[in-house]
Amino acid sequence: MWGLSRKGDSGFSSSSTALQVTQGIHATALTAIVTGASSGIGAETARVLALRGVHVIMGVIDMIDANNVKESILKEIPTAKVDVMKLDLSSMASVQNFATEFNSTRLPLNILINNAGICAAPFMLSTDNVELQFAINYLGHFHLTNLLLDNMKKTTRESKVQGRIVNVSSTGHQFTYRGGIHFEKINDPSSYNNWRAYGQSKLANILHAKELARRFKVLP
Ligand SMILES: NC(=O)c1ccc[n+]([C@@H]2O[C@H](COP(=O)([O-])OP(=O)(O)OC[C@H]3O[C@@H](n4cnc5c(N)ncnc54)[C@H](OP(=O)(O)O)[C@@H]3O)[C@@H](O)[C@H]2O)c1
């Protein structure tokens, strides 16, 4: 429990709740995409952002579950702005469709929360023939982020409010394969370990976030 309650520079810890970290924030001018918002951490993130006034786009694979979450948010917060859009991160075509559809709405994009994920799944391949955890947890979000970056940069320039891209990782990133990411063996079922492959995908999430931070600290 000690590790979970240790506060970082932000003044919050891993045990801080979404309600606590957004206390006192009124964000009615902001728009956020939350992937995997039909359950778990994503659903709670969507709920609390909506509570703070953010226009939330739920990027989800299961429209029925997502609409149930949306209904429960609206029941609690009748003024909430919540939309549901289909997104299957295991398919690059679906990611492309989602981004095209979102960008065509002409909505701004202030916050992208790359949250969706699967954990310790047995060896499977995605629609595009990539090991499924790497495909969903990392590659799908990497592609999605790239397709939304121009919108985020434009939003930042016009609103003069910094954008945020949040990649939800895991302490599991420490338990990747020896040597880090097995690029040459991503699709090798014989060396596959479901937990190490999860850790590998979560390490990729962190490296992606670090590189984004390095590139976009100052807008070109
Ligand atoms: N819970 C933890 O203790 C914990 C710890 C460390 C890190 N995390 C990370 O936190 C994030 C959220 O996890 P959670 O615990 O909230 O799990 P969760 O309740 O299972 O939520 C994961 C979400 O991702 C969605 N998803 C799965 N495959 C997808 C796909 N192909 N395309 C789009 N969405 C997809 C799921 O939709 P369906 O349910 O419809 O499949 C679900 O809504 C994950 O990135 C996970 O690695 C969780």
Domain ranges of the chain: 25-216
DSSP class of 121: P
Radius of gyration of the CA atoms of the chain, in A: 17
- Concerning whether 138 is annotated as a catalytic residue, the answer is no
Per DSSP, the three-state class of 56 is strand
Ligand 1 in reach of 108 Cβ (< 6 A): no
Question: What's the 60 CA to ligand 1 centre distance in angstroms?
Answer: 10
What sign results for the dihedral spanned by CA atoms 181, 182, 188, 193?
A: negative
Ligand 1 in reach of 125 Cβ (< 6 A): no
Partner residues linked to 81 by β-bridges: 55
Q: Ligand 1, from 118, 130, 175, 202: best to mutate by most atoms within 8 Å of Cβ? A: 118
Question: What's the 38 CA to ligand 1 centre distance in angstroms?
Answer: 9
pLDDT at 1: 46
Ligand 1 in reach of 85 Cβ (< 6 A): no
Question: What's the 120 CA to ligand 1 centre distance in angstroms?
Answer: 11
pLDDT at 160: 94
pLDDT at 4: 65
Average pLDDT per block of 10 residues along the chain, 220 residues long? 75 94 96 98 98 98 98 98 98 98 97 98 98 98 98 96 96 96 97 98 98 82
Per DSSP, the three-state class of 149 is helix
CATH 2.30.30.140 describes domain 25-216:
no
